[in-house]
Amino acid sequence: MSNPRVLCLGEILYDVLADQLGRSVENVDSWTSYPGGAPANVACALVKLGTPSAFIGAVGEDESGKSLVKLLEEVGVDTDGVQLNSEAPTRQVLVTRKENGERLFSGFKDYDTAEFADTRLKAAELPEKLFVNAEFLVIGTLELAYPETGAAVDRALELASQHNVKILLDVNWRDVFWKNPDAAPEKIRELIKKVDFLKLAKEEAELLFNTYDAGAITYRLNSVEGVLVTDGDKGCAYCLGENEDKFPAFSVPVVDTTGAGDSFVAGFVHQLLQTGVQNLKDAEIVKKIIAYASAAGALTTLKPGAIASQPTAEEVENFLKEH
């Protein structure tokens, strides 16, 4: 696929989910692997909604890496920015679940967090041609935990700035990825200064800003065009183009929340590209964008796994008609 409108940079991996609820890693009897990684989830969700996207990241030259790249290609995501690493394996994350289905990231089995291929994305090999026609770059913060990939993030921000690409940061904080989690908040705050849109979960907002008030965060930063603060089944608060409000979550029978936030991000960016950033001054348009993003997130929770459960544009539109 040529000329992706959105570039998603970061990790693609396997979430290895415990089949039994409420057990510690040692006591889980069996596991099921699901393709994941927030930026990869966003890239796939965008294509399913009808917005061409590209994924930029590094995988191992192993079976897992090859199968993930193949999956991206089958969905229709541009993979020109994928780097293969022959020395490091593709990341697998163990995910245990509480009785209520809530996920706990429980480490990486036989490897140290810094030993995986996604920690070795090379700045010099980022394809500039992808940035020339792109309109949005979506990034997370896990990449900041590793010097080499952190430098690739800096390079991507540089290219985005040169080619007038808007940047959305989804904080997606996971302490298990960091060797020194205490260093993370400061690094994340530095990155936030360089982006146009910021999406945080409520607890991430409290960690970084001591408040989850989207308006307060927007005014404090004074450098972003919009802030979204999501709070699971309690909905989302937003401040976009001076429009500040809350949007309740849609009530659906949840099976698995994996990737719901990523589908929310994809729905938001997809709608923003359709309506135009300049229309964020209009409160009604903003509400429609948030409703669409929330519906995309809600629909993703109806089935297990992040990518397999993502909705099409038609499914989102039908859902919004019913609700």
The one-character DSSP state at 254 is -
Q: Hey, is 25 helix, strand or coil?
A: helix
281-318 CB burial, b ≥16 within 10 A, e <16 = eeeebbeebbbbbbbbbbbbbeeebbbebbbebebbee
pLDDT, average across residues 217-222: 94
Beta strands at 13-18 and 31-36: parallel, antiparallel or unpaired = antiparallel
Instruction: Please state, in angstroms and as integers, the Cα–Cα distance from residue 99 to each residue in 40, 44, 96, 253, 302, following that order.
Output: 28, 29, 10, 16, 17
Two tokens, residue 15: 């979430």
Contact in structure between 269 and 168 (CB atoms under 8 Å): yes
Separation between Cα atoms, residue 321 and residue 323, nearest integer Å: 6
> Which tens digit of pLDDT belongs to each residue from 11-40?
999 999 899 999 999 999 999 999 999 999
For residue 245, the cross-strand partners are: 238
Which pLDDT does position 3 carry in this prediction? Answer: 87
Q: What is the mean pLDDT of the chain?
A: 95
Separation between Cα atoms, residue 64 and residue 181, nearest integer Å: 27
For residue 84, the cross-strand partners are: 59
Which pLDDT does position 257 carry in this prediction? Answer: 83
For residue 126, give every residue at least 6 positions away whose Cβ sits within 8 Å of its Cβ, in sequence order, or none. Answer: 56, 81, 152, 155, 156, 159
> Which tens digit of pLDDT belongs to each residue from 150-197?
999 999 999 999 999 999 999 999 999 999 999 999 999 999 999 999
> Which tens digit of pLDDT belongs to each residue from 95-133?
898 887 777 888 998 899 999 999 999 999 999 999 999
pLDDT, average across residues 225-239: 96
Separation between Cα atoms, residue 92 and residue 113, nearest integer Å: 10
Two tokens, residue 130: 């992808």
> Which tens digit of pLDDT belongs to each residue from 188-203?
999 999 999 999 999 9
Q: What is the DSSP string of 50-69?
A: T--EEEEEEEESSHHHHHHH
Q: pLDDT category, 2, cuts 50, 70, 90? A: low
Separation between Cα atoms, residue 237 and residue 260, nearest integer Å: 16
What share of the chain has pLDDT > 90, as a percent? 88
Which strand (E) or helix (H) includes residue 315? helix 313-322
For residue 283, give every residue at least 6 positions away whose Cβ sits within 8 Å of its Cβ, in sequence order, or none. Answer: 243, 245
Which pLDDT does position 289 carry in this prediction? Answer: 98
Least reliable range by pLDDT among 247-251, 298-302, 304-308: 304-308
Q: pLDDT category, 1, cuts 50, 70, 90? A: very low
Contact in structure between 136 and 167 (CB atoms under 8 Å): yes
Q: What is the DSSP string of 122-137?
A: -GGGS-HHHHHH--EE
CA dihedral 147, 148, 153, 159 (to 10 degrees): 130
- pLDDT at 134 exceeding the cut of 90: yes
Q: Where are any strands of DSSP class E within 175-219?
A: 197-201
User: Does the domain spanning 6-11+36-89+113-322 belong to CATH 3.40.50.150?
Assistant: no
Considering only CA atoms, which of 313, 300, 268 is closest in space to residue 286?
A: 268
Instruction: Please state, in angstroms and as integers, the Cα–Cα distance from residue 76 to each residue in 1, 51, 203, following that order.
Output: 7, 10, 33
